[in-house]
Chains A and B, each alone.
Chain A
């Protein structure tokens, strides 16, 4: 069964600190992995996409990594800001039209 597991479930960090969110998946075959940011009361918005051949990709203060051998991805947030408070969802695609959503990590950045 295709699964996407994220950890931690929730996280509280001080403004300015770094954090790393984890995503483990069992989706096979693998096509790509996306990280989405979902602000409270809003729809998810794509942050980055990783394909099989990519190890690292950055989008501003967000850096995603992918280890396709161990089926793990991480999202590192540098110098966190209050606006980073949101849920971060890992989405793994594999095979025709197969897309599996993780349950998300809820991040709260406090001043």
Chain B
């Protein structure tokens, strides 16, 4: 049982480039999330999804896009990368809503924008 799998683990981008962080889960969870973790800060919610075909913005959605075509996959798209998007990104999933259920996190994707 792999849980939540994120790829890539590390990536360096130049300003203005675009990329997609991949996330897949095999726990059949309806709820999926993307967070970013910056040094000295708590995790911030970027986007979330309550099921296939449904996505919504979190606290810090600017500069990002998501899609949810299947229950398993929830990719995060960065358009026109900026240095402010240098961060560690975590994908997570939960069986119940995030304020009641346990969040299961991937191992993270460290992104550097130069």
B76 shortest CB reach to chain A, Å = 15
Say yes or no for A34: interface residue by CB 8 A criterion: yes
What are the residues of chain A within 8 A of B108 when measuring CB–CB? 41-43
Say yes or no for A108: interface residue by CB 8 A criterion: no
Cβ–Cβ contact A31 & B40, under 8 A: no
Say yes or no for A98: interface residue by CB 8 A criterion: yes
Cβ–Cβ contact A93 & B99, under 8 A: yes
CA distance A45 to B90 in the complex (A): 12
CB interface residues, A 29-80, toward B, < 8 Å: 31-32, 34, 36, 41-46, 49
Residue of B43, B90, B98 near A93 (CB, 8 A) is B98
Of all chain B residues, the one with the shortest Cβ separation from A49 is: B102
Cβ–Cβ contact A4 & B98, under 8 A: no
Cβ–Cβ contact A98 & B99, under 8 A: yes
Q: How many residues of B contact A (CB 8 A)?
A: 20
Residue of B43, B44, B102 near A34 (CB, 8 A) is B102
Say yes or no for A103: interface residue by CB 8 A criterion: yes
Residue of A93, A96, A101 near B42 (CB, 8 A) is A101
What are the residues of chain B within 8 A of A100 when measuring CB–CB? 42
B50 shortest CB reach to chain A, Å = 9
CA distance A103 to B106 in the complex (A): 19
Cβ–Cβ contact A103 & B107, under 8 A: no
Cβ–Cβ contact A32 & B103, under 8 A: no
Of all chain B residues, the one with the shortest Cβ separation from A39 is: B107
What are the residues of chain A within 8 A of B99 when measuring CB–CB? 31-32, 93-99
**Interface centre among A44, A49, A93, by most B CB within 10 Å?**
A44
A36 shortest CB reach to chain B, Å = 8
Q: Which residues of B approach A to under 8 Å, CB–CB? A: 4, 40-45, 48, 90, 92, 97-100, 102-103, 105-108
A-B pairs with lowest CB-CB distance, top 6? A43-B105, A101-B42, A93-B99, A101-B43, A46-B102, A99-B98
The 30 sampled A-B contact pairs (Cβ below 8 Å) are A4-B42, A32-B99, A34-B102, A36-B103, A41-B107, A41-B108, A42-B108, A43-B90, A43-B92, A43-B106, A43-B107, A43-B108, A44-B43, A44-B103, A46-B103, A89-B43, A91-B103, A93-B98, A93-B99, A94-B99, A96-B99, A98-B99, A99-B98, A99-B99, A101-B42, A101-B43, A101-B44, A103-B40, A103-B41, A104-B42
